[in-house]
Amino acid sequence: MRQRPVLHVIKKKRIGNLELMEKSVLTAMRHENIHGNEISDKCFDENKCESCHSTWAWKNVDFKHNKTDFELLGKHKNVSCSDCHFIYNNSKVLKQRFASLDQGCVQYHKDIHFRQFVDSGKEFCVNCHTLNNWNPVLFDHNNTRFSLDGAHKNLSRTNCHKEIEKGEVRYINYKIKDAACKSCHS
Ligand code: HEC
Ligand code: HEC
Ligand code: HEC
Ligand code: HEC
């Protein structure tokens, strides 16, 4: 992403009538664009700082998040902007990140499955989880290679999915390689 051409805009307007200078250009002149490349063109309406900021306080931001391709759904609706966008060091804001934020879950959430549902950098969390809680409500065992019929229907999860310990980490094994009867029934 390229740097905002704020100065360029100012120059162009100066050639014409000074009075044509919009408030936004003046604002940008007075205030350095602290966002650098963190705001993409699609969110920077008409190059105006006021498309998000009120003119009387920088802190006062009005931004519709569905302009991004990361809609705030479920529990994310109640998370404060700064929890996702600010990087802190001892409660001091080090950096504000917007466009460069990763959309992946495991950067922010503990991957209790220890990478079983991450493949070649792609995450499959939303196959089983919604954004309302971590209950695996979308999961249906019958969509796996091994549907649960007959006596298998009444088993508890731990009958088949055992905890694995690897050094410090413990996780439940969901990737059963061999689903043939004899792998469990000898
Ligand atoms: C749950 C985490 C989360 C919360 C809460 C959140 N955001 Fe975001 N936001 C993101 C992610 C992830 C992106 C990156 C989307 C993308 O890849 O385009 C983003 C993108 C943005 C962008 C656009 C960057 C661009 O591409 O131009 C802005 C501006 C922004 N958020 C502002 C806000 C504001 C203001 C709030 C509070 C009302 C907020 N965000 C709340 C996660 C969040
Ligand atoms: C797409 C929305 C968006 C646009 C456009 C935008 N900003 Fe921001 N800006 C934000 C958000 C979100 C914050 C974080 C607000 C907060 O402190 O909670 C922020 C914070 C700031 C802050 C720091 C406020 C503080 O108290 O730390 C300054 C200064 C600022 N913006 C200047 C600008 C300038 C100058 C422009 C135009 C060149 C601009 N912004 C354009 C969304 C935007
Ligand atoms: C194939 C289905 C499936 C996928 C995909 C999946 N999960 Fe889960 N997840 C479960 C099941 C089943 C449980 C509940 C049992 C458990 O704790 O293992 C669970 C539980 C969780 C919990 C804990 C809930 C609690 O009560 O503490 C978290 C956190 C979680 N998953 C995160 C993730 C993340 C992050 C991803 C993506 C990397 C992911 N899950 C992908 C099936 C899935
Ligand atoms: C991932 C492990 C696993 C696989 C694969 C598996 N089973 Fe099972 N099965 C179990 C467990 C655990 C039980 C409950 C404990 C037991 O009875 O051994 C069980 C119980 C059963 C029972 C009931 C036994 C009883 O005495 O009540 C039958 C019948 C059965 N399995 C048949 C099969 C058949 C047929 C296949 C292959 C299509 C198969 N199982 C594949 C784990 C497995």
Q: How many residues are listed for the chain in this entry? A: 186
- Please give the mean pLDDT across all residues of the chain: 85
Lowest mean pLDDT among 45-54, 123-132, 139-148: 45-54
User: Could you tell me the pLDDT band of residue 26, with boundaries at 50, 70 and 90?
Assistant: low
The strand pair at 118-119 and 122-123 is best described as antiparallel
pLDDT at 24: 57
**Which one of the ligands is nearest to 22 CA?**
2
**Which one of the ligands is nearest to 85 CA?**
1
Return the ∠ at Cα 152 (arms to 178 and 184), rounded to 5°: 35
- Residues of the chain with pLDDT > 90, as a percent, come to 66
Lowest mean pLDDT among 29-38, 65-74, 129-138, 148-157: 29-38
Q: Is the CB of 139 under 6 A from ligand 3?
A: yes
Most confident option among 10-24, 29-43, 156-170: 156-170
State how far the Cα of 100 lies from the Cα of 169, in Å rounded to an integer: 30
- pTM here is 0.83
**Which one of the ligands is nearest to 40 CA?**
1
State how far the Cα of 10 lies from the Cα of 18, in Å rounded to an integer: 10
- In this structure, the residue with its CA closest to atom 12 of ligand 2 is 61
Going from the Cα of 94 to the center of ligand 2, the distance in angstroms, rounded, reads: 14
Longest alpha-carbon distance in the chain: 88
pLDDT at 54: 82
| C-alpha separations of 33 from 23, 61, 73, 116 in Å | 15, 15, 29, 42
User: Could you tell me the pLDDT band of residue 73, with boundaries at 50, 70 and 90?
Assistant: very high
* pLDDT > 60? residue 29: no
Q: Is the CB of 113 under 6 A from ligand 3?
A: yes
Going from the Cα of 174 to the center of ligand 1, the distance in angstroms, rounded, reads: 33
